[in-house]
Amino acid sequence: MREKMNVMVEKKNGKGIGAKRFAVGVLILCLAFSLCACGKKDKYVGTWIGTQGTILVLNKDGSSYYKELDEQETSVGTWELEDEQIIVEECMDYEIYANCGKDAESLLFQADSSRWNDELFVKSK
């Protein structure tokens, strides 16, 4: 009888250790994926100069600034990297987006709004 109890305790403890290992494994995977995503986003952080004289600043904290050359006002908004696409929101009455390729030196921003003219932005050094 005592042997059966020892086996039952070992099985119970074995399951507990397995569950802990599983939970730790899931946590490590979540952290790894979040770090990978941050690394991708970081390469787009900085000041971008548009071919039409505009300036777009993408900050690490997800905030963004947009300024046209002949305008005094700077628009403030947010940006995110989602499915290999940079999306800038709230700077204008519509969102602009750029598909991210392997090259992080230039981005073609587009919009579904007819008020936006597609514009190529080059990262300032």
pTM (2 decimals)? 0.66
Give me 116's structure tokens. 């936006």
Domain around 19 = 1-42
- Count of domains observed in the chain: 2
pLDDT at 18: 61
pLDDT at 44: 95
Q: Look at the alpha carbons of 43, 107, 51, 96 in this order and tell me if their dihedral is positive or negative.
A: negative
Give me 37's structure tokens. 């995503």
Q: What letter represents residue 87's amino acid?
A: I
Tell me if residue 85 falls in helix, strand or coil. Answer: strand
Contact (Cβ atoms closer than 8 angstroms) between residue 94 and residue 111: yes
58-106 confidence digits (pLDDT tens): 999 999 999 998 888 899 999 999 999 999 998 888 999 999 877 678 9
Q: Are 53 and 104 members of one domain? A: yes
Question: What is the average pLDDT score of the chain?
Answer: 78
Q: Are 28 and 49 members of one domain? A: no
